[in-house]
């Protein structure tokens, strides 16, 4: 079962008097989370020595990512754990965010239906030390996140839902 409680720093807050709260959202295609609630796509296992996926996509995330792939081409995620929207997964065109030895590849999703459409999910090594015991599910919620993540113009944002992993080896 997936924990529906967002991690600290992932809740959207609109304060009266701010543009996000006072101005109507632009017309965008609606994301119907209920239509995809039971579907989930697990990433491949990429952490050396492990046998279980650490990250998954909720069905609604797969649907949105396929649409974003059509607009932007190949995509990637990075989870930094920094300030502001740093605890939200950021989705970029593949290669627009440079990864290094300071990042861990947690998994690769294939969202393709008739040909491969791989999406890598990266996390900063420092953040992985804190989250090494958790399984992450990338979900979609209404609201505005960071302007740097490609879903921002759609009026939705990616959000992490987490649960403790029952089996994960090695923990860091």
**Strand ranges inside the chain, DSSP E:** 40-42, 55-58, 75-79, 90-93, 103-110, 118-124, 134-142, 156-164
Instruction: Convert the pLDDT of each residue in 30-89 to its tens digit.
Output: 444 444 445 899 999 999 988 889 999 999 999 999 999 999 999 999 997 766 555 789
User: Confidence class of residue 148 from pLDDT cuts 50, 70 and 90?
Assistant: confident
Report if residue 150 sits inside a domain: yes
Report if residue 135 sits inside a domain: yes
Report if residue 28 sits inside a domain: no
Task: Please tell me the predicted confidence (pLDDT) of residue 88.
Answer: 86
For residue 51, give the CATH number of its domain: 2.60.300
Looking from the CA of 65 toward its CB, the CA atoms found within 13 Å total 32
| Residue 132 three-state SS | coil
Number of domains within the chain: 1
> Shortest CA distance to 143 belongs to which of 132, 154, 155?
155
Report if residue 24 sits inside a domain: no
Alpha-carbon span 78 to 36, nearest angstrom:
23
Give backbone dihedrals phi and psi of 86, rounded to 5 degrees, phi first: -65, -20
Instruction: Convert the pLDDT of each residue in 18-36 to its tens digit.
Output: 334 343 433 434 444 444 4
Report if residue 31 sits inside a domain: no
What is the pLDDT of the chain when averaged over all its residues? 78
Look at 1-15, 80-94, 114-128 and tell me which has the smallest mean pLDDT.
1-15
Q: Which domain holds residue 93?
A: 38-164
Report if residue 5 sits inside a domain: no
Task: Please tell me the predicted confidence (pLDDT) of residue 82.
Answer: 64
Report if residue 9 sits inside a domain: no
Task: Please tell me the predicted confidence (pLDDT) of residue 169.
Answer: 57
Report if residue 104 sits inside a domain: yes
């Amino acid at each position: 079962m997936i924990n529906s409680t967002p991690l600290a720093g992932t809740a959207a807050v609109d304060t009266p008097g701010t543009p996000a709260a006072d101005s109507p959202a632009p017309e965008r295609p609606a994301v119907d989370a209920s239509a995809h609630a039971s579907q989930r796509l697990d990433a491949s296992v990429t952490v050396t020595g492990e046998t279980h996926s650490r990250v998954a996509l909720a069905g609604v995330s797969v649907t949105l990512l396929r649409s974003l792939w059509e607009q932007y081409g190949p995509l990637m995620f990075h989870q930094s754990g920094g300030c502001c929207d740093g605890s939200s997964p950021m989705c970029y065109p593949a290669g627009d965010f440079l990864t290094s030895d300071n990042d861990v590849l947690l998994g690769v999703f294939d969202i393709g239906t008739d040909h491969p459409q791989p999406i890598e999910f990266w996390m900063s090594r420092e953040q992985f030390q804190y989250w090494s015991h958790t399984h992450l599910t990338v979900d979609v919620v209404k609201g505005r996140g960071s302007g740097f993540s490609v879903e921002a113009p759609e009026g939705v944002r990616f959000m992490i839902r987490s649960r403790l992993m029952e089996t994960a080896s090695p923990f860091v």
